[in-house]
Structure 1
Amino acid sequence: MTHATPSLPVVPRLEAWRAAAKGDFGLIVVPGVIWGASFLFIAEGLHATGPHGVAFFRILAGFLTLLAFPAARTPIAWEAWPRIALLGVLWMAIPLTLFPYAEQRISSAMAGMLNGAVPLFATAIAALLARRAPSRTVLTGLAVGMSGVVLVALPNLRDGGAHLDGVLLVLVAITLYGISINIARPLQMEYGALPVLVRALGFAAVLTAPLGIPEVLHGTWTLMPLVSLLTLGMLGTGIAYVIGTVAAGRLGAARASASIFITAPVALLLGMLVLHEHVAVLSIVGAITCIAGAMIIRRPDA
């Protein structure tokens, strides 16, 4: 979720897990693991270059990776390009720059757990755009999920200072994700996920280049940050979207979006095991609460 799924990240129902059990488990798990690991890769990349360098590197690598797939090069009508350019700003350039800035202030595990609230923000923004009051079930899910966001952030809010800034940066990023997902959905339904994504990434690469290229050129590069950012870009901003698109085509968007449940636990485990980050129990409870709220939102009777 430093990443959004190729289509609107509706939370899957029980059928998702039944489908996974029949042999499509990898299509759900692999993108979730890749996106969950992205927060570790960002942390490692920051050892070599600054936030703008991390953002530009991953965006460019993701763009070039997706460009290699013929499906991504499918033509798109010119009237769709302004909206795609807007996605390049709101979905890619700004959020993917905010996350590295956030991880200079909070742990990668914390950033990953907060990112789990993307479905909540997307649902709330969709209701605002539709100017229609959500159902009681959706309102309940939003209340539960947003309380989870508060619990995740609370230990950092108590610390104040840079920790609070980091939390706010992530919240701005996932709010932009929520807006972008609602812009992207009709475009992806008309033209396909990969053609929209690759063009949005192209715009984002141009936008992040002026600040990103100098940071990359003046970075202190060693093997681990280089491999981390290559993996982040090629897999997290590239291949994971291809797998997600295949999953959406085979399982349906709702089932494929089961990946969103995997990102936060993976980010938490990698942060604790690899980076030896300390995570408050209250934050872990909050992350679980966020997931519970998202599940409520997408119940069949919602």
Structure 2
Amino acid sequence: MKMPASSASEASKHHSVSTLLDWTLLVLPGLIWGASFLFIAEGLESLPPNGVTFTRLLIGFLTLSVFPGVRKPVARSDWGGVALLGVIWMALPLSMFPFAEQSVSSALTGMLNGATPLLVAAVASLLARRLPGRGVLIGLAVGFAGTILVAAPTLGSGSSQATGVLLILIALVCYGFSVNLARPLQQRNGALPVIWRALGFATLLTAPLGAPALHNAHWTPASLFSMVALGAFGTAIAYVLLAVAAGRIGATRASATTFLIPAVALILGVVVRGERVALLSLCGGAVSFGGAILIRRASLLPAKH
């Protein structure tokens, strides 16, 4: 039986809207997180690093608080895991980036973040206590070689830049562990309740040093806008969008949004702040991106028995 023309048209229109929504949910988090390194750099014009971290966490927590779904209960047995997530996913790594960006450009910081999928895959294999498959191993080798190339030009630029790169790498290692910890917590309790509580814990944890810094801030319009955008979008809305995307198109496909971060950070750093990036770092970013693509393709292949 043939579908009426009007019904076929409606179905086609619904499919187009659904596809557009999926792409929007996939692209927006990457754009937001790519811009976050520019926002951090602008925020540092008015706040010290501890103030930037506390302010973004506070605004992010308050923003997420308007979503009713965040108040769903979390299993008592998972409270410790949520608190740990607040430390290693939020308080610690989000403190590393502002300190790092005092000596490292926002563009380079964002490019180094391209190594996040590599560390997530490496930590997952470590926690599983087994070597990943051949395809993932090749991707890890290529990706980490690219990360070394990205960071290499900073090694001859003084100890402050090298320290900044080290802080970024510490933050990325935290991300590698936290993503693997967050997955089972979110599966059992839902993404929003876990993220909201972790944000609340991280906000309290950073308040002793961050609140006085916020009180003594000297704002400019650009830094104020940047901190509001960093907190509301980069520390709250992007997490919500990614959670919705994972529910609609699957966690593996949704994680592809992280591939946008280095490119967005690079473009904004160069265009908005006039930052310069060494050619070797650009080549390394491309190699690291290639490694992440190899890991993703290997992870999507069916397991061989």
What TM-score, normalized by structure 1, do the two folds share?
0.91
Pick from 19, 22, 25: which aligns with 1:22?
A: 19
Partner of 2:293: 295
Pick from 138, 147, 150: which aligns with 2:148?
A: 150
Pick from 225, 231, 238: which aligns with 1:227?
A: 225
Deviations 1:69-90 (A, max 9, x none): 1111111111110111011111
How many angstroms apart in 1 are the aligned matches of 2:126 and 2:259?
Answer: 24
How many angstroms apart in 1 are the aligned matches of 2:26 and 2:84?
Answer: 28
Partner of 2:182: 184
How many angstroms apart in 2 are the aligned matches of 1:149 and 1:44?
Answer: 25
The letter of the residue matching 1:217 is H
Deviations 1:228-286 (A, max 9, x none): 00100000001111111111111111111121111110000000000000011111111
* 3-state DSSP of counterpart to 1:116: helix
How many angstroms apart in 2 are the aligned matches of 1:96 and 1:240?
Answer: 15
Shift of 1:21: 9.9
Higher CA-based Rg: 2
How many angstroms apart in 2 are the aligned matches of 1:284 and 1:74?
Answer: 44
From the superposition, tell whether residues 35 and 87 of structure 1 become closer, same or farther in structure 2 (CA, over 3 Å).
same
Give aligned-pair identity as a percent.
56
How many angstroms apart in 1 are the aligned matches of 2:164 and 2:239?
Answer: 26
Q: Is the 8 A contact 1:109 1:267 kept in 2?
A: yes
How many angstroms apart in 2 are the aligned matches of 1:239 and 1:176?
Answer: 21
Pick from 109, 122, 125: which aligns with 1:124?
A: 122
From the superposition, tell whether residues 97 and 123 of structure 1 become closer, same or farther in structure 2 (CA, over 3 Å).
same
Deviations 1:211-243 (A, max 9, x none): 001111111112111110010000000111111
Q: Is the 8 A contact 1:143 1:293 kept in 2?
A: yes
Q: Is the 8 A contact 1:85 1:203 kept in 2?
A: yes
Structure 2 alignment gaps of length 5 or more: 1-15
1:249 maps to 2:227: no
How many angstroms apart in 1 are the aligned matches of 2:123 and 2:218?
Answer: 40
Partner of 2:72: 74
Partner of 2:110: 112
Structure 1 alignment gaps of length 5 or more: 1-18
How many angstroms apart in 2 are the aligned matches of 1:65 and 1:288?
Answer: 35
Pick from 260, 281, 284: which aligns with 2:282?
A: 284
Shift of 1:160: 3.1
How many angstroms apart in 2 are the aligned matches of 1:297 and 1:100?
Answer: 29
